[in-house]
Amino acid sequence: MQKSKLWTKDFLAVSLTSFFVFVIFYMLTVTLPLFATDELHASKQSLGLIVTIFLVSGIVFRPLAGKWMTTLGQKKVLLIGVFIFLIGSILYMNIHSLSALLLLRVLHGIGFGMSTTATGAIVANVIPEQRKGEGMGYYATFMNLAMVVGPFVGLTLTNTLGHTAVFTVAVVSSVLAVLCSLVLRVPEVQASSATNEIQPAKGLAAFFEYRSLPISVAGLVVAFSYASVISFVSIYAKEMGFTQASSFFFVVYAVCLLASRPFTGKWFDQYGENSVVYPSILSLAIGIFLLSQATTSWVFLLAGALIGLGFGTITSSFQSIAVKKASPHRRGVATATFFVFFDSGMGLGSFLLGILSTAAGYKGMYVFCSIVALLAIAAYLVLHGRKSQKQRIISQNESLGK
């Protein structure tokens, strides 16, 4: 039987929309702390709020966006989200105080929460049913690339042309996200037919996919530890004298992530989730610990390699598990559920670790976060890994029986 086409105009449009939005998110996450200290003279304690407030507003609007998509339609919610995101990107040009920056982060977070929730729901509809796992893997790769391109471009521009250049790129990327959204054709008919056949969820079930909650909670723990990297690595690098190396930190991150993707994807399918997740979390923990011990650029970049190998694989694996747990018509809600918890971990981590870094320094903070990353192994084992292993053994026994 011939495979249904995956790389359609609509799949590319929704994937690129997600890419451009996440590029801005990661670019501003690593550069705004520098902007706040250099231009707004913000205190170290307040730096975590820059990420936390953004993510909190996104977290609040994610489940609302999921609900609105059932009434307004997925494309309308996406367009509203990306236009709000564009307005927020433009307004960074005129920020002159920390309070104004924090207020803008609320608005920008709303656009981020709405647009990324919509893209997660839409992509589940545009991917052919028989290629769902493959398609979600490629879609996750677009986000992984944004996780690399954003910080690299942001830190390179900050170190060479200044903060205004960063905000200009944010506006251009926002415009590209809007254009990709406009050309996207969303198969609303599929969504409505599914709604007619299946009783709509009520109460909290309309906003959250309960079957995806365990892996989402494990994702929260991982995201908490990773918040130390995405929120503070640029400040830490500057403090340690690794300013030039900081730009290449995410290049090394990207190379290791992309080089490992074909192997980790095959292992995930052939040997099960656990064979990929446990080594990936361990790689993340070791990488964060190396950050705390870095005295040379070489060790600093090695940490980036291990973190990229670990965290990049974990996020795509966890999201795939969350989507796989849900019924076909609930995949968008499952994606929203995962990112609510994931963003909560990032936001909580950015806020609390900002306080911890003031008391213990960045080195002490990274030691603590390496321990949290190790605890994520236990969290995954209890919440999902043990059950996944049992199911795999049962499946193997059934296959041998046949």
Domains of the chain: 11-192+204-397 (1.20.1250.20)
Calculate the dihedral angle through the C-alpha atoms of 17, 21, 23, 26, rounding to the nearest 10 degrees: -150
Give the C-alpha separation, 128 to 178, whole Å: 24
Number of neighbours of residue 277 by Cβ within 10 angstroms? 28
**Which residue's structure tokens are 């997740």?**
277
Distance separating alpha carbons of residues 329 and 271, to the nearest angstrom: 27
The Cα 124–Cα 128 span in angstroms is: 8
Q: What is the chain's pLDDT, residue by residue, as a tens digit (402 residues)?
A: 456 787 889 999 999 999 999 999 989 988 898 888 888 888 777 777 888 888 889 888 888 887 788 778 889 999 999 999 999 999 999 898 899 999 999 999 999 999 998 898 788 778 776 666 567 767 877 887 887 788 889 988 988 898 999 999 999 999 999 999 999 988 754 444 444 445 555 566 666 778 888 999 999 999 999 999 887 887 888 888 887 787 788 788 878 877 776 677 667 767 778 888 999 999 999 999 999 999 898 999 999 999 988 887 888 788 778 877 877 667 667 777 888 898 889 888 888 998 898 889 999 999 999 999 999 999 999 988 887 666 655 555 555 555
pLDDT on residue 194 = 41
Q: Considering the entire predicted model, what is its pTM? A: 0.74
> What local confidence, expressed as pLDDT, does residue 392 receive?
57
How many Cβ atoms from other residues are within 10 Å of residue 43's Cβ?
11
The three-class DSSP label of residue 269 is helix
Taking CA atoms, 228 is separated from 57, 238, 327, in Å, by: 20, 15, 34
Neighbouring C-beta atoms of residue 241, cutoff 10 Å: 12
Contact 117, 297 (CB under 8 A): no
CA nearest to 45, candidates 35, 54, 55, 36:
36
Q: Which residues contact 208 (CB under 8 A, 6 or more apart)?
A: 63, 333, 336, 337, 340
Any residues with CB less than 8 A from the CB of 336 and at least 6 apart, and which?
62, 63, 65, 66, 117, 120, 121, 207, 208, 209
Query: What dihedral do alpha carbons 232, 233, 234, 236 form, nearest 10°?
Result: 80
The DSSP line for 50-111 is: HHHHHHHHHHHHHHHHHHHTTTT-HHHHHHHHHHHHHHHHHHGGG--SHHHHHHHHHHHHHH
The token pair at 276 is 């990929």
Tokens of 93: 């040009």
Total Cβ atoms within 10 A of residue 41: 9
| 227/314 Cα distance (integer angstroms) | 14
Work out the widest C-alpha separation in the chain, in whole angstroms: 70
Q: Residue 391: its pLDDT value, please? A: 63
